[in-house]
Amino acid sequence: MMKIKSLFKSKLMVFCIQILILLIFSAIFNYQIQIDFDSSTDPRAGEQQFIIQFLANLFLYNTTFGFLYINFTWVIVSLLPILMFNNFRKAYSMNLATFFFPNFFFYVFYWRYSITSFSSVFPTFLVETVALAITLVIISIGLSFVLKLIRSEEKKIDIKDIELKNRSECPQCGAKFDSKPEYCYNCNTYLKEELGEIIGSEK
């Protein structure tokens, strides 16, 4: 059981799940951004363009819908490390690593196979990429701190409940204790629990 839990908390597994979520969203919404390419006589141009287009669909936009869709999907994807790792550094580093993966290959492939078109849109795409990366960092850090605060409050409540359950009172003299002693330290009455009620009898 611990091995399965550790597996799901591993960075590689989280990365794979995040990419899978992105692909599922892409398939459901059928989102696509139009990418222009240089004319090419390379027989592999079709395959190259398909890969570049596929990668661009994961993080680029040029319409209002595209902006909303890309930000929404990446916010959803970024929640996974935030919920799994109780550490904001791990959360934002994991999210940036996942975000960097399609970005790196898109820019490298696009620059290599279609340099003219790439040069014309690079400034715009770069601004979008940096803006989304900053958004992910802010969300990762902010939500991690909020979640940590919530978990901390839950622990405090649990500790308080335990303290309340362990408190007892002597039925003879009314002395209160933060535990359940066998004898009252004040009047030496023997204390015992019977049917959920504290009954006192003289020692």
H helix runs in 85-174, sequence order: 88-113, 115-166
Domain identity same for 140 and 179: no
Domain identity same for 153 and 175: no
Domain identity same for 173 and 80: no
Q: Compute how many other C-beta atoms are within 10 angstroms of the C-beta atom of residue 99.
A: 23
Q: How far is CA 34 from CA 4, 10, 55, 144, in A?
A: 41, 35, 12, 35
Residues β-bridged to residue 194: 197
Residues β-bridged to residue 14: none
Residues β-bridged to residue 159: none
Instruction: Give pLDDT tens digits for 163-197.
Output: 566 666 667 676 666 666 666 666 766 666 433 44
Instruction: Give pLDDT tens digits for 95-133.
Output: 999 999 999 999 999 999 888 999 999 999 999 999 999
Eight-state DSSP code of residue 183 = B
Domain identity same for 133 and 171: no
Q: Which of 162, 159, 184 is nearest to 173 (CA)?
A: 184
Domain identity same for 101 and 180: no
Amino acid of residue 152: S
Domain identity same for 34 and 15: yes
State how many domains the chain has.
2
Domain identity same for 80 and 61: yes
Containing structural domain, residue 45? 2-163
Check residue 61 and give its pLDDT.
92
**CA dist., res. 44 & res. 160, Å (int):** 67
Output the six-digit token pair for 165. Answer: 């359950």
Domain identity same for 94 and 6: yes
Domain identity same for 14 and 94: yes
Domain identity same for 172 and 81: no
Residues 66-71: what's their mean pLDDT? 93
Phi, psi of 43 (to 5 degrees): -65, -20
Q: pTM to 2 decimals?
A: 0.69
Helix (H, G, I), strand (E, B) or coil at 194: strand
CA angle (156, 158, 162) in 5-degree steps:
115
Output the six-digit token pair for 104. Answer: 């790196």
Q: Which of 76, 78, 108, 70 is nearest to 96 (CA)?
A: 78
Are the C-beta atoms of 170 and 183 separated by less than 8 Å? no
Domain identity same for 122 and 171: no
